[in-house]
Amino acid sequence: MHICHVNMPIEYYSPVSGGAVATVIMNQARELTARGHDVSVLTITDGNPVYDIGRVIRIAAPQRHELSIPQRLVCKLKRAVLPWDYPYYGYYRASVVGALARMRPRPDVVVVHNDLVSPIHMRRLMPDTRIVAHLHNEQRTRQPSLERAVAATSVFTCVSDHVRRWTIARYGIASHQVATVYNGIDLAAFRPPACEPDRAEGLNVLFIGRLNADKGPDLLADAVTQLNASGCKINLTVAGSVWWYGHERQHRDPYFRALMPKIEAARARYLGPVSRTNVPDLLRAQDVVVVPSRWSEPFGLVLLEAMACGRAVITTRRGGIPEVCGDAAAYFDPDHPGSLPDALRAFAQAGAALSAAKHASRARADAFTWAASVDQFEAAVSSVRPPRGFRPGLAASGSHS
């Protein structure tokens, strides 16, 4: 089968500048390829290396600084009239549809990511193709009605039951048209360290992710400052940036400017953005990974990566996080963050509790493989009634109809 992933117009398919969506596409593409499927990836690029998984086809989605003032004005007027969810979407749509029209063989399955508009345009071009809208979060839309998008989409797949329930309730989509496809983890790349980090100088704690209020790194910095002042030594490392790319502009972000003094007060080491290839080693150097999310995390991929590396995790019961972590995590309420220092202190003062949490993490992660994720994907696509002319089944026969 020929399966084509269409990356979002705001994310690069890159281990350097890509985010969580690109990571998911790459890992699913690798597993699908291993099963004998032909995988294409349509994506924008930025000059950084791209993943070498799948047949990468570059598409155009110019950003604001790449357009002239008249072009921006035209796009602004169009977006005021048309229900586009992304700025300058017209350029992206034309490039994607053009690439699909030229593609040989035509895809049997097209997967769009966090996109409730493109299926409408793709269906006109490919009436016999199964179109999957893969939702990585609570995806909102400017469309006044989702009727056309629902009719054009074969199946909606969601990264957690939380996102699935939200999508059904928000848009009134029939439950049989919405499936859960959990993210997975590469257990070979994300594995426990051969030797545990030295704790003679304190507990090693990491925050890694986007630096914004939703992700809550300020809560962790404040907790570490409090603990260090009380004599409980915490070695905090903060990795990430305001956005996946464009890091040179983040110092203008109000939240980032307010966060940096807190990071300094916690005597933390700030690394900035970290390449995906360096993330496993960074995780293995820690004792605890904290994801102090204030918002409803759709899945929490970094938690799964930390658990696969055998790291204790502290997080919140927001969104899909409990589905990922189960009983293997320590939880606190971000609306009452006073319990976060208590959770960190418990790990700092009790080696047995820390060791038990690390073992529980790895055992929990073992259930989330990319093979299991692709099993769910194939089941979701196979359950859809084939469009006119579509040959049923997802058997990797090597032929494309």
14: left (phi over 0), alpha (psi -120 to 50) or beta: beta
- What is the structure's pLDDT at 401? 29
pLDDT digits (tens, 9 = 90+) for 184-241: 999 999 999 998 877 778 999 999 999 999 999 999 999 999 999 999 999 999 999 8
- What pLDDT band is residue 83 in, cutting at 50, 70 and 90? confident
| Helices 89-102 and 69-81: angle between axes, nearest 10 degrees | 90
Q: Hey, what are 217's tokens?
A: 């790194």
Q: Hey, what are 131's tokens?
A: 């179109």
Average pLDDT (3-24) is: 93
pLDDT at 70 exceeding the cut of 80: yes
- What is the structure's pLDDT at 391? 43
More confident residue, 242 or 171: 171
pLDDT digits (tens, 9 = 90+) for 304-313: 999 999 999 9
Q: Which residue has the tokens 């970290």?
A: 274
The pLDDT > 90 percentage for the chain reads: 77
Contact 15, 277 (CB under 8 A): yes
pLDDT digits (tens, 9 = 90+) for 241-261: 887 555 556 777 899 999 999
- What is the structure's pLDDT at 150? 94
Instruction: Give how far Cα 331 sits from Cα of 177, 270, 348, Å.
Output: 33, 24, 16
Mean pLDDT of the chain: 91
pLDDT at 400 exceeding the cut of 50: no
- What is the structure's pLDDT at 64? 81
Average pLDDT (141-168) is: 95
Q: Hey, what are 162's tokens?
A: 């939380």
- What is the structure's pLDDT at 373? 97
